[in-house]
Amino acid sequence: MRTYQPTILVYSPNQAEAYAKCVRNHGFKKVKAAATLEEARKNLPGTEIILGWKFPIEILDESIAASVLWYQSIGAGVDDLISDTSNLEHMTITRIVDQFGTYISEYVFTYLLFILKDVSRMRQAQVERRWDPFIPELLAGKTIGVAGLGSIGAEIVRKARAFDMNVHGLSFSGRQAQLVDRHFTSEEWIEFVKGLDYLVLTLPLTDATKHLINRDILLAMNPRAYLINVGRGALINEGDLVSVMSLGHLQGAILDVFETEPLPEDHVLYTMPNVYTTSHLSGPSTTRGVCQFFVDNLQRYIDNQPLLGVVNRERGY
């Protein structure tokens, strides 16, 4: 039996009840669920902790939010929450960490292999009942550059090693530089991208990273390289990407995230040759994973231990 029972509001447009049920199953009694702005407004007074996804953050400025001390985001990126830092300064914000590396790295290697091995050609031969032996290319020996060496980047690095790739990395903090064969700083983007067969973006979206991948960076890349974005859409200047790829530069782009999501039906990225779009599914927040992370963090909160995934507003993630 838990002695301290903080008042928790779970907010999610689609999954609020599922998350709330899971949290209650861990012995927490005062758990409310909200899926709309109205429900959020109604339940906010007296709430100490929010577990939220796409929360209508504008109401956190109102007096009804005065009791909120901690906001746990359902997700790894918090750019939406701290885009206007005036809102949430009175509360601790945490994000999910160490949950997405497995999913995202599996996604990355799925697409690297799918394209490199020309699975489409193999499938077509089967449809046509044709014997079509050819020598697929090898991932081994190719060079992958991972931008962002947090828990997601580190997991991509680990799998790249198993595929005997050359592994380069760039990070702003310089942490985990020892993971890669060659490490670059944020002053060395051009040098970093030049030597790559694959550039994988796992960076958070901050003032420092927004539209970082622009025309200059793209043109510095090897014309036969691939760009993979599993971070945030706005890391890339999409207009620049479209114009550079229209020139025939880059062998392909694998994009799971976009400046506008859902990607609008009439967006040119859906139809460009050599562009592979997916629907922001590379690092899904599973109910079970998020709930476990939150409940673990909740126990730390109750025990006055430091929370996991605390967002640094200056840094932006």
Using CB under 8 A, list all residues that contact a second copy: 102-103, 106-107, 109-111, 113-114, 117, 119, 122-123, 125-126, 129-136, 138-140, 158-159, 161-164, 261-263, 265-267, 270-271, 276-281, 284, 286
Looking up tokens 């799971």 gives 256
Looking up tokens 């927040």 gives 285
Cα distances (Å, whole numbers) of residue 51 to 17, 23, 76, 165: 12, 10, 13, 39
C-alpha atoms less than 13 angstroms from C-alpha of 59 in its C-beta half-sphere: 18
Nearer to a second copy, 4 or 134 (CB): 134
As given in the structure block, the two tokens for residue 222 are 């090897």
Q: Quick check: helix, strand or coil at residue 216?
A: helix
CB of 41 vs a second copy, minimal distance in Å? 27
Nearer to a second copy, 27 or 136 (CB): 136
Q: Can you tell me the distance from the alpha carbon of 124 to that of 177, in angstroms, rounded to the nearest whole number?
A: 42
Q: Which residues contact 223 (CB under 8 A, 6 or more apart)?
A: 248, 249, 250, 251
Nearer to a second copy, 1 or 135 (CB): 135
Q: Can you tell me the distance from the alpha carbon of 217 to that of 241, in angstroms, rounded to the nearest whole number?
A: 10
Instruction: Please give the sequence-ordered ranges of beta strands (E in DSSP) within 210-306, or none if there are none.
Output: 226-229, 252-255, 275-277
Q: Can you tell me the distance from the alpha carbon of 105 to that of 108, in angstroms, rounded to the nearest whole number?
A: 5
Q: Can you tell me the distance from the alpha carbon of 170 to that of 186, in angstroms, rounded to the nearest whole number?
A: 7
Q: Can you tell me the distance from the alpha carbon of 65 to that of 9, in angstroms, rounded to the nearest whole number?
A: 11
Q: Can you tell me the distance from the alpha carbon of 166 to that of 141, in angstroms, rounded to the nearest whole number?
A: 6
Orientation angle between helical segments 101-116 and 151-162, nearest 10 degrees? 40
- The values of phi and psi at residue 197, to 5°, are -85, -30
Catalytic residues: 232, 261, 280
Nearer to a second copy, 15 or 206 (CB): 15
Nearer to a second copy, 115 or 295 (CB): 115
Looking up tokens 């999501």 gives 261
Nearer to a second copy, 82 or 144 (CB): 144
CB of 83 vs a second copy, minimal distance in Å? 22
Q: Of 179, 178, 234, which Cα lies nearest the Cα of 204?
A: 234
